[in-house]
Structure 1
Amino acid sequence: MKFPTFLVAFLIATSSVLQAQKKQVSLEEIWSGAFREERLQSLQSLNNGEEYVVLNRDRNSGSVSIDVYSYKSGEKTRTLVNSTDIPEIDSFQAFKFSKNENKVLLSTEVEPIYRRSSREIFYVYDIASKKLTKVSDQKIQEASFSPDASKIAYVRDNNIYIFDLNSGETKQVTSDGEINSVINGITDWVYEEEFSFVKAFAWNPTGEKIAYLKFDESEVPEFSMDLFGKDLYPSQHVFKYPKAGESNSKVSLHMYDVASSASQEVDLENAVDLASNSADKDDVFSAYYIPRIEWTADPMQLSVQVLNRHQNDLNLIFVNAKDNSSKVVLNDTDKAYVDITDNLTFLEDNSFIWTSEKDGWNHIYHYDESGKLLEQVTEGDWEVTNYYGYDPKSKRIFYQSTENGSVNRDVYSIRLNGRSKTRLTEKEGMNSADFSADFSYFINSFTSVNTPHVYTLHRAKDGKQVREITNNAELLKKVEGYDFAPKELSTINVNGNDLNMWMIKPSDFDENKKYPLLMFQYSGPGSQSVSNSYFNTNDYWYQLLANKGYIIACVDGRGTGFKGADFKKVTYQELGKYEVEDQISAAKKLGERNYIDSDRIGIWGWSYGGFMSSNAILKGNETFSMAIAVAPVTSWRFYDTVYTERYMRTPQENPTGYDENSPLNHVEKLKGDYLLIHGGGDDNVHLQNTMRMVEELVQANKQFDWAIYPDRNHGIYGGNTRLHLYNMMTDFILEKL
């Protein structure tokens, strides 16, 4: 049908008016939380499997309560604890139930230490009697109920203590704890950061024993940071931080007998020659890690995961708590490295579930108590991305995987023998589950590029939806009023691989125009930045940039995750080589598109992404005209042992791998505009990285821009800090790209 010319003109004019009526997003809106998604509050299933509890806060009164809700109806059924009923405390920030749920540990006056650790004042609240008992007058760490809830074990000043709730007496378990020297029962900095746990002790199921780790960090080099604050003189934070190739803590396993008050070290080397990969058993490389301890279904049998320093040889060891004898039941090795997970699960007969990449993809395995393989439960060219647990009633395992594509996630159940697999989610996108204690229900969290998070309740046996809990319809309605463009998912063939990519174009995109391109990436081993999920905070910033005439794209190159072990581990011993090659090649390929200005391609990233963007503008100086690096690693020699050596081995063994891909050694190649940003109080990626980069650039007589945020950590936030940071980056992009 042919439209009259005046009608076509009218339609174009009307469209332009409607477009003009759309609001333009601002950085102030973004960082004030105007587009924050409604998330389901953190909930905890009760033992009955029919109810869950939520920590609720009343903003008007300031009171806090632990409220009970029905899974099936979503209705509140009762309140277990309310701070208004406890005159001794004003509020509490977190809670932990005893095993039988008759007592609750209340956490108050929380003082953060590092990423996962904190010191707190703890109280025990007896739900029936409403009696409140203070555990210690001093701030303590990782308070934990004994199985019968008669005692509390905790750590104070690097020593373990036991508080008896009946007698009120406190017993000291260890006495050699010393700051920056010996740690009992909690992890050192590098374990907390890279193995993702702090509590390094565990009651056995009958409360007779406590297994704990001891860290002797006396030989670990110290790192110091100046914190400027507002006083006349700065303060200095000094802590143990093992950089690649340097001495780690010497970690040992100990067994404490509650009745006799005696501790004994467990000889793990009696079970396996843990230093077999080292020519000299006493050299620095012979040290090993104990990244997990967990009691088995047998109350007198402890499982211990022991990993060699190269992190390519993992032993699962069973320790008999009666005589502290030990034996290896499973050995998992890899040419590159073995990832540590929390997936180990013991069944009633003490057989166990384990996940491994040994067939090239991450899958679930079932072993008997002796370590004999009973079944590879899942298999295929896809990854198990989350293991939710095992239901002994239905004899089914619940997990999440990429069976529907690496940018998607679905939830499944499967029998122990690998048969009768059932897909429990239907919508294409990112699905994740939170199961009730008895695996009768699960709450599904769903999102896609077009849908902010929707939370629904489902039956675990078949995935049938019971009810919708909450959605983000209000957010969708709000963003309709803004001039936003969709996030487009696709793939791009680079260096022989189909790489996942998303792209955001200006809302008034015209394929006959040429646009500057800004690329974002993280690119760290096993990571994922391209997924079928809704906007995060940075995506709203990208919408702001798109409205100003930029195209933004993100490509997950080699080394990223969820496409098999070979794809992920190709970067082994050469971090920054293949990932950078892929970003440069992707930029060149995108620059060939007729709507992208190949002379105006920029790249930015944070942390590992800052390492990448720095390398990209140096090694890809003919491709990238601008780069922003936030909190970047500039040499892996400066980063910690556990993370760095997992992917690079030590600098002593692999000096060229460290140096050839270090931005410090390529500064003379800088041609474009470069902005370098760091937090002065970054305990993770130290400011040293940026200061060394600055010195190398200065000595090479290269001009660049840089900014330091005093006392800010790796996240660079607090007050107006994030807003200031993004204003600065926006101005830099608008001026330079």
Structure 2
Amino acid sequence: MYQIKKTWALFALLMLCFSALAQQKKKVSLEDVFKSNSFSAKGVYGINWMKDGQYYSSLVRSASGPSVVKINVATGKQEATLIDGTKIGVNFSSYSFNADETKALLSSNIERIYRRSSMAVNHVVDLQTGEAQLLVNGEKIMYATLSPDNDKVAYVKDNNLFIVRLDNNQITQVTEDGKWNHILNGAADWVYEEEFSMSKAFEWSPDGKKLAFIRFDETDVPEFNMQTWGELYPQDYRFKYPKAGEKNAEVSIHVYDLASQNTIKVDTGTEKDIYLPRIYWTATSNILAYIRLNRLQNQLDFFAANTATGESNLILQEKSKTYVDLNYNDNFYFLAGDKGFIRTSEQDGFKHIYHHDMSGKLIKQITSGSWEVSSLIGVDEKGKKIYFISTEASPLERNLYVINMDGKNKKILTPASGTHSINMSKDFKYYIATHTQANSPARITLNTAAGKELQVLEDNQELRDKLKNFALAEKEFFDFKTVDGTSLNAYMIKPADFDPAKKYPVLMYVYGGPGSQNVTNSWGGTRDFWHHHLAAEGYIVVCVDNRGTGARGRDFKHSTYANLGKIETEDQIAGARHLGTLPFVDKSRIGIWGWSYGGYMSSLALMIGNDVFKAAISVAPVTTWRYYDTIYTERYLQTPQLNPSGYDDNSPITHVDKLKGNLLLIHGTGDDNVHFQNAVDLVDALIKADKQFESFYYPNRNHGISGGNTSWHLYNMMTDFITRKL
């Protein structure tokens, strides 16, 4: 008994010391996070490996203008300036080289359209003469791309596909029928861009003699009308947005032959209600591969098409009782000499690497195990090795591995815990690694392929030193089990002067959508430091990755299929109940907040979990999946015609009568993704149910609700709500 008392006294003394130390340091303020950007980490930007692997180029910005410099890998020193923006009179924002590095394409005056699409003024620079050639008389064009044979640029303008010759500026119009809100050639429609992560929808053949492209006929897709304010009369912005169960664009694949100026249509089958989200040139210009998905996305077909005739042959097929996730099945790498292709698939329950011959026959499953290949970094055909990032160490970690193509001699190259992202040289001799941890900002290094560190490119030492002046508690990881025994991963941020004898209010942060992941050992950035501000004000911040999230295998991810919101909400409620059992948590003051899918989750959790949650902030939420787009929603819920209960049973609108706690609903009126209509309908339902709540709209702001003073205003308001209600 004496020993226990002695140990407790020592612990109490240590806590007092830590508390005193924390009080000497500065609290994280809102101004630190959103006004002075005190916690912004530095990066190394615009890095492109050069063809011989002994050099890489980097985009450097200075007061005089941008430039691209050439850096020697061995010495780490800059050897030349390849492009000087001041000399050529181009204030460019991005650049890319052609294959033999004799030319570079520069983009400037970039105008963003949606999440991935943009238009820009483009120049081609001759790297030997230094001359810059303005394309298309300086008009803004989309997706300008140099041909492999170096003498042409393909681009999209006004929904049509064009080619311009560099020797004489002669322009060839490949398509003629492009029309706003009707026909798109070579550019993805809104829903493909958002949900299939693509915007450019054309590719040069390896010899530069053909151009393959996807055509979207969205004539019959319903229009969404979004009003914008700021003029005497509000303006209408109309764009095609297929909501769940509605008509999609009809898509087709075409190949244009530059010599004959003929375009052939690829045979993709008789069914028109399909998706064609990927096209890939193989090692030859005679064969174009592509992916076809059915409307419910539970069957993926991989085809090879003859580019002279358009005839297609089925190479392989995957089916699922739930869905085949394109994000896990779109890494196709074609080997030289008709030695087949490398791809990724989660067909065995986890995303792994496979080797097939050109007929689709499986040669070898290269990786296996109860972990996932997060990304395929590169295939070194000469060395017969494959580089990839995986979760083998932990679902919370991302490490670089190398493995022989026969599946042997797997080796970890980045053993340090945390999250590693990799930029590998074309000859597979070097890579640039960006390494972060939950409590440590980016450290960017140059390394040999064997994992030996050669040079530190950026260590963010200035930020690390600055962090020492602030009272910050480290992000702590933990797990707990739900009622059915499922173990869930979570993290916690406590006040820096945490006292285990006190009771603290808790704010939970949630996203929770299919395949997502918030609980990772990685640097979090601005939103994390808002959470640190709340911790400084006496709150504990917790994040739980519910069932349905990523990095834990197909079954864990697909467990929410056909019933989005149900078990995810159960898991967040279970998390709150678990926290309520901890001696330092005030279980009467637990709140939850989230954005987008997280906004959907937070509002639903407050209503269904009205006995555990006191308050919720719901930012830009989906309030009924009937209002969201076809590709995302139907992948997880089927269509509303087939599964109406899956759409309605777990809509916050359905559960407004259960609201007891405090709700703050926030949305941008210019949200092209999750429409303001979602907030309007939830508000209407709350009024009908005679429920009091708070709401705020941001005029003309998109889904990110940012720009100018917006972020400061938003987080200031959310902080005030938490202070008043939690």
By the TM > 0.5 criterion, same fold? yes
Q: 2:437 and 2:403 mapped to 1: Cα distance?
A: 25
Report the counterpart of residue 563 of structure 1 in structure 2: 552
AA partner of residue 152 (structure 1) = V
Match of residue 345, structure 1, among 333, 342, 353: 333
Superposed displacement of residue 649, structure 1: 0.7
- Please state whether the residue corresponding to 1:349 is helix, strand or coil: helix
Report the counterpart of residue 48 of structure 1 in structure 2: 52
CA separation of 1:332 and 1:680: change in aligned 2, threshold 3 A: same
- Please state whether the residue corresponding to 2:681 is helix, strand or coil: helix
Q: 2:421 and 2:94 mapped to 1: Cα distance?
A: 24
Structure 1 residue 678 corresponds to structure 2 residue 659:
no
Q: 2:694 and 2:291 mapped to 1: Cα distance?
A: 46
Report the counterpart of residue 31 of structure 2 in structure 1: 28
538-547 or 711-720, larger mean C-alpha shift: 538-547
Taking only aligned residues, the RMSD between alpha carbons, in angstroms, comes to 1.8
Report the counterpart of residue 473 of structure 2 in structure 1: 485
CA separation of 1:95 and 1:12: change in aligned 2, threshold 3 A: closer
Report the counterpart of residue 188 of structure 2 in structure 1: 187
Report the counterpart of residue 109 of structure 1 in structure 2: 109
Report the counterpart of residue 226 of structure 2 in structure 1: 225
Superposed displacement of residue 578, structure 1: 0.7
- Please state whether the residue corresponding to 1:678 is helix, strand or coil: strand
- Please state whether the residue corresponding to 2:466 is helix, strand or coil: helix
8 Å CA contact 2:19, 2:496 repeated in 1? no
Structure 1 residue 293 corresponds to structure 2 residue 279:
yes
Q: 1:674 and 1:457 mapped to 2: Cα distance?
A: 48
- The alignment-based identity, stated in percent, is 49
48-57 or 218-227, larger mean C-alpha shift: 48-57
CA separation of 1:13 and 1:615: change in aligned 2, threshold 3 A: closer
Structure 1 residue 577 corresponds to structure 2 residue 566:
yes
Report the counterpart of residue 611 of structure 2 in structure 1: 622
Report the counterpart of residue 683 of structure 2 in structure 1: 694
Report the counterpart of residue 301 of structure 2 in structure 1: 315
8 Å CA contact 2:560, 2:568 repeated in 1? yes
Structure 1 residue 84 corresponds to structure 2 residue 72:
no
AA partner of residue 43 (structure 2) = R
- Please state whether the residue corresponding to 2:336 is helix, strand or coil: coil
Report the counterpart of residue 262 of structure 1 in structure 2: 262
Report the counterpart of residue 22 of structure 2 in structure 1: 19
- Please state whether the residue corresponding to 2:301 is helix, strand or coil: strand
**Cα deviation code 1:355-413 (max 9, x no counterpart):** 11110011000000111100000000000001101011211000000110100111101
Superposed displacement of residue 197, structure 1: 1.1
Superposed displacement of residue 248, structure 1: 0.3
397-406 or 105-114, larger mean C-alpha shift: 105-114
- Please state whether the residue corresponding to 1:28 is helix, strand or coil: helix
8 Å CA contact 2:186, 2:200 repeated in 1? yes
AA partner of residue 433 (structure 1) = I
**Cα deviation code 1:262-284 (max 9, x no counterpart):** 11211121xxx6x4xxxxxxxxx
Q: 1:319 and 1:563 mapped to 2: Cα distance?
A: 35
8 Å CA contact 2:264, 2:309 repeated in 1? no
Structure 1 residue 427 corresponds to structure 2 residue 416:
yes
Report the counterpart of residue 174 of structure 2 in structure 1: 173
Report the counterpart of residue 643 of structure 1 in structure 2: 632
Q: 2:201 and 2:261 mapped to 1: Cα distance?
A: 19
Q: 1:437 and 1:489 mapped to 2: Cα distance?
A: 37
AA partner of residue 151 (structure 1) = K
CA separation of 1:491 and 1:16: change in aligned 2, threshold 3 A: closer
CA separation of 1:496 and 1:13: change in aligned 2, threshold 3 A: closer
Alignment map for 1:459-474 (pairs within 5 Å): 459-460=448-449, 462-474=450-462
Superposed displacement of residue 15, structure 1: 5.9
Alignment map for 1:593-608 (pairs within 5 Å): 593-608=582-597
8 Å CA contact 2:301, 2:316 repeated in 1? yes
AA partner of residue 524 (structure 1) = G
AA partner of residue 18 (structure 1) = L
AA partner of residue 343 (structure 1) = N
**Cα deviation code 1:102-154 (max 9, x no counterpart):** 11111122111111111111111111122222221321111111111111111
Superposed displacement of residue 71, structure 1: 2.3
Q: 2:384 and 2:13 mapped to 1: Cα distance?
A: 65
AA partner of residue 497 (structure 1) = T
Match of residue 455, structure 1, among 439, 444, 448: 444
AA partner of residue 345 (structure 2) = S
Superposed displacement of residue 728, structure 1: 0.4
- Please state whether the residue corresponding to 2:136 is helix, strand or coil: coil
Structure 1 residue 525 corresponds to structure 2 residue 480:
no
**Cα deviation code 1:593-614 (max 9, x no counterpart):** 1211111110000000000001
CA separation of 1:259 and 1:13: change in aligned 2, threshold 3 A: closer
Report the counterpart of residue 283 of structure 1 in structure 2: none
CA separation of 1:336 and 1:84: change in aligned 2, threshold 3 A: same
Superposed displacement of residue 581, structure 1: 0.5
- Please state whether the residue corresponding to 1:166 is helix, strand or coil: coil
Q: 1:723 and 1:219 mapped to 2: Cα distance?
A: 41
Q: 2:279 and 2:502 mapped to 1: Cα distance?
A: 59
Q: How many correspondences in the alignment?
A: 715
Match of residue 601, structure 2, among 608, 612, 636: 612
Structure 1 residue 335 corresponds to structure 2 residue 321:
yes
Q: 2:218 and 2:641 mapped to 1: Cα distance?
A: 21
AA partner of residue 19 (structure 1) = A
Q: 2:362 and 2:453 mapped to 1: Cα distance?
A: 36
Superposed displacement of residue 300, structure 1: 1.1
Report the counterpart of residue 703 of structure 1 in structure 2: 692
- Please state whether the residue corresponding to 1:642 is helix, strand or coil: helix
Query: What's the TM-score, normalizing by structure 1?
Result: 0.95
Report the counterpart of residue 243 of structure 1 in structure 2: 243
24-33 or 352-361, larger mean C-alpha shift: 24-33
Q: 1:662 and 1:7 mapped to 2: Cα distance?
A: 51
AA partner of residue 200 (structure 2) = K
Name structure 1 gaps, 5 residues minimum. Answer: 276-285
Superposed displacement of residue 13, structure 1: 7.8
- Please state whether the residue corresponding to 1:597 is helix, strand or coil: strand
Q: 2:538 and 2:257 mapped to 1: Cα distance?
A: 68
8 Å CA contact 2:264, 2:308 repeated in 1? no
Structure 1 residue 475 corresponds to structure 2 residue 463:
yes
AA partner of residue 698 (structure 2) = Y
Superposed displacement of residue 450, structure 1: 3.0
**Cα deviation code 1:50-70 (max 9, x no counterpart):** 1111111112x2x11111112
Q: 1:479 and 1:540 mapped to 2: Cα distance?
A: 11
Q: 1:334 and 1:48 mapped to 2: Cα distance?
A: 43
AA partner of residue 599 (structure 1) = S
Name structure 2 gaps, 5 residues minimum. Answer: none
